[in-house]
Amino acid sequence: MPEAHQKSSNIQYAELMMDDPTSDMENYAREVLRKLIDDNLPPTPNNFSLYFDRLLEEKSDNVRKQILSILELEENNDDEKSILLEQNLKQGFSSIKNILSITVNLYKNMVLMTKILEKRKEELGNKSEIQTVLLVVKTLENDIAKLNEILKKQSSQMKIYYDETAEVVKRVDNETIFDNQYGVYNKRYLLSKIAHEIDLIKQFKHKSSLIMIELDYNLKSSIKNEKAVVLMTRTIARLLLKTSRRSDTVAHYGNGVFAMLLKHTDIESAKKASERLCELVANSNFFLAEQEIKLKISIGITDIDVDYTVEEIIVSAISGIEKAYTNLEADFAVVLREHKEKEEEKS
57-82 residue pLDDT tens:
888 888 888 787 777 655 555 666 67
Cβ burial of 197 (10 Å; 0-12, 13-18, 19+) is buried
Kindly report the CA angle at 262 between 261 and 264, in degrees rounded to 5? 135
pLDDT for 57 = 82
Q: Write down the pLDDT at residue 258.
A: 98
pLDDT of residue 128: 55
pLDDT value for 338: 66
> What is the tens place of the pLDDT at every residue in 31-60?
999 998 998 888 888 888 888 888 888 888
pTM, to two decimals:
0.69
pLDDT < 50 positions in the chain: 1-19, 21, 340-347
Residue 96's pLDDT is: 76
Q: Which residues contact 65 (CB under 8 A, 6 or more apart)?
A: none
> What is the pairing mode between strands 286-288 and 257-262?
unpaired
- Give the list of residues 6+ apart from residue 22 with CB closer than 8 angstroms, or none: 70
Query: How far is C-alpha 36 from the chain's CA centre?
Result: 30
pLDDT for 280 equals 94
Cβ proximity of 189 and 177 under 8 Å: yes
pLDDT, residue 211, reads 98
Distances (CA, A) of 42 to 29, 46, 127: 15, 10, 97
